[in-house]
């Protein structure tokens, strides 16, 4: 007798466990917060890795390490208020600041309906920046508080990330019932997510909110905090801090100006919204990718006083990387918008040459999908990620090699990109079959032309 598969669940025969399955994701959900606390305490209070020193045994070391967490990592009321206010204010900006409507990809589970997305994050990043300077100038809120209380703010993010991940899962399961492709294993479904397009009302798309505003704005605000902290502490701002501020502003601005392009991305249409996206966006990205910012804040400027030539090289890498990152993403998403019958994206500053391929070549698959075989993607299928990686590499290079922690981001990002490529490759081979082999003839390279 064949048992019927419940609606919203996967057939057990077709489940393909990723990330080590239920055991793997459960371990990672506990390991990531611990790793984040360990890296922060190591960077602020130890030289390199935190471990027993000066004749300490492991018990003495554990007490010392724990005392740092208790004193500097448990949030005060003010830190809870600051982080909560940030999230709430960004949510208010999402539904009040001027913007425009865009559409996502056709969704099969909604009979090919294209969800509307309200895009105004560009206004949000500028208004937020202005408010930071106004609040700091009039003493309403000193932005250096973020650096001075990094551990507390990070703990707030970790707690919110955990609570929201599980809270959204239970809400989806028992209130909205809008779940998709569940395995039946709770921890795995919390990790991958139960809901696909969760929203608060008509405007606030949670996935878009978390992916665009939360991580990159925190990262950018931490860089602003560093600059003000150095001015207060030394009476001047180091070129390296200004570089990090510029690099992080560039990234936050790129995500904001390209918000409407993200509506047509694979993540928005097909990736469920679970711990993997929720926790990483609210806590993982902003508080691990900012370890370069912390290194510059916690160490004497003489340790990273690089030559003008070296700094010029870093700026060159960032500008070149940004060009391919910006134009590569725009080419891909403009193509998707054209196929989905969505009007062209607006030309926001800086609108770079070759951002759109006119009359792009494409391969139509037997499933009816369209694969672009034109533009930068002829040279590398993930050239936008390659450019992204080179930009993040400069964030570590500006710190030097005295500490391992600024290098966590490029190392982790490299592993994540390879894992993402493996997932994408498997899914595309399964989905497109022979058409994928034909596509690879047109676009044979993944990250670097003629290399890989």
Cα–Cα distance, 53 to 435 (Å, whole number): 59
Q: Kindly state whether residues 204 and 339 are assigned to the same domain.
A: no
Instruction: Give the residue carrying structure tokens 């047509």.
Output: 264
The 8-class DSSP code of residue 104 comes to: E
Please name which of 326, 325, 445 lies closest in space to residue 393, comparing C-alpha atoms: 325
321-336 core/surface letters (b: 16 or more CB in 10 A; e: else) = bbbbbbbbbbbbbbbb
pTM of the predicted model as reported, rounded to 2 decimal places = 0.93
List pLDDT tens digits, range 113-140. Answer: 888 999 999 999 999 999 999 999 999 9
Contact present, 360 and 375 (Cβ < 8 Å): yes
Co-location of 261 and 120 in the same domain: yes
Closest CA to 289 of 217, 370, 395: 395
Domain interval for residue 373:
306-452
Per DSSP, the three-state class of 112 is coil
Predicted local confidence at residue 1, as pLDDT: 43
**Separation of alpha carbons 350 and 319, rounded Å:** 12
Query: 255 and 323 share a domain?
Result: no
Q: Answer with the one of 277, 297, 317 that is the final residue of a domain.
A: 297
Q: Are residues 243 and 357 in the same domain?
A: no
Domain boundary among 258, 278, 297: 297
DSSP-assigned letter for residue 89: H
Q: What are the backbone angles phi and psi of residue 450, rounded to the nearest 5°?
A: 65, 5
199-200 and 204-205 strand pairing: antiparallel
The helices-and-strands tally (H runs, E runs) of the chain is: 19, 6
What stretches of 73-192 show up as alpha helix (H) in DSSP? 77-96, 121-137, 145-148, 150-171, 186-192
Last residue of a domain, one of 297, 320, 338: 297
pLDDT for the residue 3: 59
347 in a structural domain: yes
The answer to whether position 173 is within a domain reads yes
> Tokens representing 447?
């990250």
Residues 134 and 184 occupy one common structural domain: yes
Per the domain annotation, does 215 fall within a domain? yes
Can you say how many angstroms the Cα of residue 354 is from the centroid of all Cα atoms in its chain? 25
Query: Looking at the structure, do residues 342 and 267 belong to the same domain, yes or no?
Result: no
* Same-domain status, 223 and 263: yes
Clarify whether residues 229 and 312 are in a common domain. no
Whether 243 and 338 map to the same domain: the answer is no
259 contact partners, CB below 8 Å, separation of at least 6: 117, 119, 120, 121, 122, 208, 212
Write the pLDDT tens digit of every residue in 380-414: 999 999 999 999 999 999 999 999 999 999 999 99
CB of 391 within 8 A of CB of 317?
A: yes
- Give the count of domains, the chain: 2
Based on the domain organization, do 232 and 333 belong to the same domain?
no
In a domain, 396, yes or no: yes
pLDDT tens digits, 297-346: 999 999 999 999 999 999 999 999 999 999 999 998 888 877 777 777 77
Token duo for residue 14: 């077709």
Give one word for 103, left, alpha or beta, with left for phi > 0 and alpha for psi -120 to 50.
beta
Q: Closest by alpha carbon to 271, among 405, 393, 107?
A: 107
Q: Tell me, yes or no, whether 37 lies in a domain.
A: no
- SS3 state at 272: coil
Residue 408 within any structural domain of the chain:
yes
CB atoms within 10 A of CB 95: 14
Has residue 56 been placed in a domain? no
Tokens of 8: 């919203």
| 266 and 332 within one domain | no
**Same domain, yes or no: 266 and 376:** no
Low-confidence residues in the chain, pLDDT < 70: 1-3
With respect to residue 89, please indicate whether it lies within any of the assigned structural domains. yes
């Amino acid at each position: 007798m064949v048992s019927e598969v419940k609606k919203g669940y996967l057939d057990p025969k077709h489940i393909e466990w990723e990330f080590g399955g239920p055991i793997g994701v459960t371990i990672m959900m506990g390991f990531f917060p611990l790793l984040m606390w360990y890296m922060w305490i190591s960077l602020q209070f130890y030289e390199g890795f935190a471990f027993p020193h000066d004749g300490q045994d492991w018990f003495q070391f554990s007490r010392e390490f724990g005392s740092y967490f208790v004193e500097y990592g448990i949030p005060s009321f003010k830190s809870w208020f600051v982080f909560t206010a940030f999230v709430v204010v960004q949510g208010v900006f999402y539904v009040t600041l001027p913007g425009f409507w865009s559409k996502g990809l056709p969704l099969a589970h909604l009979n090919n309906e294209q969800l509307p997305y309200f895009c105004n994050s560009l206004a949000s990043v500028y208004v937020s920046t202005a408010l930071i300077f106004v609040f700091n100038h009039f003493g309403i809120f000193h932005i250096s508080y973020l650096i001075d209380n990094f551990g507390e703010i990070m703990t707030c993010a970790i707690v919110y990330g955990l609570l929201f991940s599980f809270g959204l899962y239970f809400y989806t399961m028992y209130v909205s019932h809008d779940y998709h492709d569940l395995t039946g294993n709770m921890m795995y479904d919390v990790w991958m997510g139960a809901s696909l397009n969760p929203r608060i009302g008509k405007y606030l798309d949670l996935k878009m909110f978390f992916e665009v505003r939360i991580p990159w704005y925190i990262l950018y605000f931490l860089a602003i905090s560093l600059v003000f902290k150095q001015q207060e502490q030394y009476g001047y701002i180091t070129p390296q801090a200004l570089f990090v501020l510029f690099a992080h502003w560039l990234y936050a601005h790129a995500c904001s100006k390209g918000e409407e392009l993200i509506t047509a991305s694979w993540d928005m249409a097909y990736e469920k919204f679970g711990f993997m996206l929720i926790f990483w966006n609210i806590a993982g990205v902003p508080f691990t990718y900012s370890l370069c910012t912390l290194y510059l804040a916690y160490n004497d400027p003489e340790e990273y006083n690089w030559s003008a030539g070296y700094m010029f090289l870093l700026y060159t890498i960032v500008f070149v990387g940004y060009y391919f990152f910006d134009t590569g993403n725009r080419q891909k998403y403009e193509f998707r918008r054209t196929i989905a019958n969505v009007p062209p994206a607006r030309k926001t500053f800086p609108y770079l040459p070759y951002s759109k391929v006119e009359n792009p070549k494409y391969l139509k698959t037997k499933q009816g999908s369209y694969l672009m075989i034109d533009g930068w993607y002829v040279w590398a299928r993930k050239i936008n990620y390659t450019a992204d990686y080179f930009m993040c590499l400069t964030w570590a290079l500006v710190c030097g090699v005295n500490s391992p922690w600024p290098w966590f981001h490029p190392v982790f990002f490299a592993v994540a990109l390879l894992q993402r490529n493996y997932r994408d490759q498997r899914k595309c081979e399964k989905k497109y079959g022979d058409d994928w082999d034909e596509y690879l003839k047109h676009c044979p390279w993944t990250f670097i032309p003629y290399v890989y």
